[in-house]
Structure 1
Amino acid sequence: MPSATNIDRTQSYPIIHARSAKKIGANEKAARNCAGNTMNRTIVEGKIVVCDNDYGNQAIQWKSEEVKRLGGTGVIVIDDKSMDLSYIDPSFLVTIVKPVDGLEIMSYINSTREPIAMIMPTRSRTGHELAPSIPSFSSRGPYLLTRSILKPDIAAPGVNILASWLIGDLNAAPQGKEPPLVNIESGTSMSCPHVSGIAARLKSENPSWSPAAIRSAIMTTAVQITNTGSHITTETGDKATPYDFGAGQVTIFGPSSPGLVYETNQIDYLNFLCYVGFTYDQIKRISTRIPQGFACPVQSSKGDISDINYPSISVSNFNGEESRRVSRTVTNVASRLIGEEDTVYNVSINAPKGLRVRVIPRSLHFKNIGDTLRYQVIFSSSTSTLKEDAFGSITWSNGMYRVRSPFVVTSKADI
């Protein structure tokens, strides 16, 4: 709980569920969620109130403000979606517990006539907590425009981040205190600066790299495991998939040494517009520089997007009766300083049960920095249809570098 408060930490306080304080005529679900003007002040006053969090889009901040307005001592919110306290007034006591812990609290409240709780002094927690995990507000896939490209690209830190703050914002300051220069913030707006900073560093280290090469280096060096060695999970504890984190959690130093990169060129982007249905004349209005002789591929469709030279692979409308083949091209960007011009990369495949994946060729022999080689991935099924989306990865390694590309294969038609 936040600790900037004058609450006596040596005594116990009555604890109730918000439903017990419901006003006559108020909506029960709204009252359970500590919504405004649904609880009785005389019942709430001096108590710790347990609130649910399954009613509309009511922010936890609003619940705490309502209980505080009615004279409550503190708030416990039962929620499996958000563990974020960054927007809460630090002068009021708020904690968030998962549903499994909420059941235990409710069991205690219902088992005694006068349930009580004690507010303990803040204690520092040592050791590692499980991290990272994907929060509820993270932008997830599949991509709304087409299932033939995997989104998101990457995950980055975005919960409870120390961030610069608007000077003079009195709402961010405890009563009687000066507004802070920094604040604890959460959101994809916090993830973006992490990736932007890494991209800026990569560009300064490699001025000739294109934006596509920088994106590739960030994606192919991402990690998919936590600090305890387990697989990254979602906020509910379920195993996260590429629809949750893309290629994985970004790393700080990995992108500086990717080994190989996937270059996505101008033709790839123009073809993408063709594949999603734009005509040549429409593309001319979007792009001011179109290579001479460019034309949209004949009889193209969204399914052709799978062949765009992206660091990840997504195949849609896979019926299992026919194999699907996609192509990728990689460029050797290893360092000349340690003699890595002549190197061989071998492939390893991680495929789920029911999906056969072949890569041709299985080895790529680069003789110089800047060499570009092509490979193909062939997907086929050992079952007639996939019952659910199939996730896996293809990794190229030369003993020093690991270049990982996630893939998803789905039987769902392209959006």
Structure 2
Amino acid sequence: MGSSSSSSASDDDSSHLQLLSSLFPSEEGERRFLLNSYNHALKGFSAMLTETEASVLSGCDEVVSVFPDPVLRLHTTRSWDFLEAADSDSRSSFPCEQKSVDVIIGIIDTVISASDARNCIPGSLDYTKVARKIVVCMNDEANVSRRIKKLVVEDAKAKGVIIIDGDQEETSPFDAGTFPFAETGATLGSQILHYINSTKNPSATILTATEMKGLRPAPVVASFSSRGPGGLTENILKPDIMAPGVAILAATVPKIEANYGAPGKKPSAFAIKSGTSMACPHVTGAMAFIKSLHPHWSFSAIKSSLITTASTSNNIGKTVSNTSDSPANPHQVGAGEIRPIKALDPGLVIETSTTDHLYFLCYKGYKQRTIRSLSGTGNFSCPAGGAAEELISSLNYPTISIGNLSRRDGPRKVKRVATNVGSESNATYVASVDAPAGLVVKVGPSKMVFRQGAETAAFKVFFDGRRAAKGYNFGHVSWFDGSHIVRIVFAVNVV
């Protein structure tokens, strides 16, 4: 299979048949046919080949990979084989000779555990007990969403629902509609449960939602945020940045169903939403805003400007916290929350080139021939040294992450190249370091001088973890020219 392109399906079929023709002698022309062609997400085809033919095909420059289509067998226990084995004459003494007919059997398992009902799992509630009452649901079961729990209670004809998240202090809106619901964190939830258990006839009122202006502290890292370290590699910081994604008034598909909108009125085309899907449009809008004022900037430069100018302070002047009210680290906030206005004038940017992205594939062990085929770069060559996960840290990225810094080894060096995009072509930037105790971080050179016609400058950062605490150490390197602060966050895992 190869890379996707803009060619037509018929062109793809022709090129695939041409590849097959090179494998078969003329007397075996009937074998030159495609079982299937794929031309959307990728370019490829399926055909009947021997192992030798598949090996020859995989050696073609335009082929990325050839792999067999596996035979999928039923994965289950051997209980039926076991039952037959218990009766050695079962096959020979089968009593019925007529053909069997299809039979559909429905099995209903009526066992409902207390945990299911506690978490408002579908099918777990006794409707006669919850009808016309406010139901309290725990959010201990990660496989069932809060919205599903709300719908379960709503279907049971309850008056409302309170969802208690025992693992979080801060909660976020997750749905819209007229059915009364509320969600609380661990502390308030514990108080609610204590009240319920302390009285014979507990009562409650769920008030209409109101707008809360000037909520403090804000921002707070949401419980659903996608956090680091990265699964594919720990040598690139995850996440890059954070953006507003909680309680966002967003366009939505109107729901024509009960409890979505006031009686007699059309359902709203807007709803309060929370999620990374709400944060993404904010970042996209910020990038479009910057691109409109800097049309010649690459998207990599815009990304760098957002990352190096991000803020780690909340609206009460303290470090951004997570839902447990602890200071958030770069594996939770990345470089911080975006500041689009500040990103219009970042001073310096660190651009990640196409070559950097291709080198990433080299360092992850992809073959050079495969990378050329995927990227359409026939003259690309992987750097000397072959696949080496730790080299990913030196790709030109506006943050630094080292997934494995051994105490036994010497200092680790990473390199970055900065581009001056400030209004002053003559500028001098001086470096400073904020690092945790024990982790020695040095920058060389400690001063970068930009002059007319010299828009780029390189620098190296050295990390020595011989006296650092084990685990991830976080900090940042900053470049300052008197008006711009270019902040490069780092995460270093000392082992």
TM-score, length-scaled by structure 1: 0.86
Offset at residue 126 of structure 1 (A): 4.5
Structure 1, 301-310 or 227-236: larger mean CA deviation: 227-236
- The CA distance in 1 between the partners of 2:389 and 2:208, in whole Å, is 58
**Pair 1:137-2:235 in alignment:** no
> Aligned to 1:297, what secondary structure does the other structure show?
coil
| Equivalent residue number for residue 286 of structure 2 | 198
| Equivalent residue number for residue 16 of structure 1 | none
Structure 1 residues 189 and 349: alpha-carbon distance in aligned structure 2, compared to 1, 3 A threshold: same
Amino acid at match of 1:354: G
- 4+ residue segments displaced more than 6 Å: none
Deviations 1:73-92 (A, max 9, x none): 2211111457333424x221
| Equivalent residue number for residue 151 of structure 2 | 65
The answer (yes or no) to whether the contact 1:271–1:297 under 8 Å persists in 2 is no
Offset at residue 25 of structure 1 (A): 5.3
**Pair 1:372-2:456 in alignment:** yes
1:140-155 → structure 2 map (5 Å cutoff): 140-155=227-242
The answer (yes or no) to whether the contact 2:162–2:182 under 8 Å persists in 1 is yes
- The CA distance in 2 between the partners of 1:125 and 1:287, in whole Å, is 50
| Equivalent residue number for residue 250 of structure 2 | 163
**Pair 1:243-2:326 in alignment:** no
- The CA distance in 1 between the partners of 2:420 and 2:265, in whole Å, is 56
- The CA distance in 2 between the partners of 1:49 and 1:217, in whole Å, is 48
Structure 1 residues 369 and 54: alpha-carbon distance in aligned structure 2, compared to 1, 3 A threshold: farther
Percent identical pairs in the alignment equals 38
**Pair 1:410-2:481 in alignment:** no
Structure 1 residues 40 and 328: alpha-carbon distance in aligned structure 2, compared to 1, 3 A threshold: same
| Equivalent residue number for residue 54 of structure 2 | none
Amino acid at match of 1:118: T
- The CA distance in 1 between the partners of 2:206 and 2:289, in whole Å, is 45
Amino acid at match of 2:494: S
Which residue, 474, 477, 481 being the options, matches 1:391?
A: 474
The answer (yes or no) to whether the contact 1:140–1:151 under 8 Å persists in 2 is yes
| Equivalent residue number for residue 437 of structure 2 | 353
Offset at residue 334 of structure 1 (A): 0.5
- The CA distance in 2 between the partners of 1:391 and 1:93, in whole Å, is 43
Amino acid at match of 1:131: A
- The CA distance in 2 between the partners of 1:170 and 1:247, in whole Å, is 42
Structure 1 residues 151 and 401: alpha-carbon distance in aligned structure 2, compared to 1, 3 A threshold: same
Deviations 1:59-81 (A, max 9, x none): 22222222233332221111145
Structure 1 residues 293 and 121: alpha-carbon distance in aligned structure 2, compared to 1, 3 A threshold: closer
Deviations 1:123-167 (A, max 9, x none): 55454332111222222221222111112211111122222223x
Amino acid at match of 2:349: V
Deviations 1:89-115 (A, max 9, x none): x22111111111111111122222222
Calculate the aligned-residue CA RMSD, in Å: 2.2
- Report 1 or 2 for greater relative contact order, CA contacts < 8 Å, sequence distance ≥ 6: 1
Which residue, 253, 277, 292 being the options, matches 1:189?
A: 277
- The CA distance in 2 between the partners of 1:157 and 1:48, in whole Å, is 31
The answer (yes or no) to whether the contact 1:346–1:364 under 8 Å persists in 2 is yes
> Aligned to 1:253, what secondary structure does the other structure show?
helix
- The CA distance in 2 between the partners of 1:341 and 1:405, in whole Å, is 22
- The CA distance in 1 between the partners of 2:484 and 2:246, in whole Å, is 30
**Pair 1:297-2:381 in alignment:** no
> Aligned to 2:125, what secondary structure does the other structure show?
coil
| Equivalent residue number for residue 30 of structure 1 | 116
Which residue, 134, 149, 163 being the options, matches 1:48?
A: 134
The answer (yes or no) to whether the contact 1:386–1:410 under 8 Å persists in 2 is no
Amino acid at match of 1:68: E
The answer (yes or no) to whether the contact 1:331–1:370 under 8 Å persists in 2 is no
Larger Rg: 2
The answer (yes or no) to whether the contact 1:219–1:248 under 8 Å persists in 2 is yes
| Equivalent residue number for residue 447 of structure 2 | 363
Aligned residues: 381
- The CA distance in 1 between the partners of 2:461 and 2:262, in whole Å, is 58
Structure 1 residues 87 and 370: alpha-carbon distance in aligned structure 2, compared to 1, 3 A threshold: farther
The answer (yes or no) to whether the contact 1:274–1:297 under 8 Å persists in 2 is no
Deviations 1:153-209 (A, max 9, x none): 11111122222223x532454553313232222222221111111112222222221
Structure 1 residues 59 and 311: alpha-carbon distance in aligned structure 2, compared to 1, 3 A threshold: same
Unaligned runs of 5+ in 1: 1-23
- The CA distance in 1 between the partners of 2:459 and 2:314, in whole Å, is 31
| Equivalent residue number for residue 55 of structure 2 | none
Amino acid at match of 1:342: N
The answer (yes or no) to whether the contact 2:372–2:380 under 8 Å persists in 1 is no
Unaligned runs of 5+ in 2: 1-109
Amino acid at match of 2:255: D
- The CA distance in 1 between the partners of 2:146 and 2:182, in whole Å, is 10
1:98-117 → structure 2 map (5 Å cutoff): 98-117=185-204
Offset at residue 294 of structure 1 (A): 3.4
Structure 1, 205-214 or 171-180: larger mean CA deviation: 171-180
Structure 1, 49-58 or 78-87: larger mean CA deviation: 78-87
**Pair 1:381-2:469 in alignment:** no
Structure 1 residues 94 and 134: alpha-carbon distance in aligned structure 2, compared to 1, 3 A threshold: same
Offset at residue 395 of structure 1 (A): 0.8
Amino acid at match of 1:411: V
- The CA distance in 1 between the partners of 2:327 and 2:298, in whole Å, is 33
Structure 1 residues 123 and 371: alpha-carbon distance in aligned structure 2, compared to 1, 3 A threshold: closer
- The CA distance in 2 between the partners of 1:329 and 1:49, in whole Å, is 58
- The CA distance in 2 between the partners of 1:63 and 1:189, in whole Å, is 21
The answer (yes or no) to whether the contact 1:212–1:263 under 8 Å persists in 2 is yes
- The CA distance in 1 between the partners of 2:348 and 2:360, in whole Å, is 23
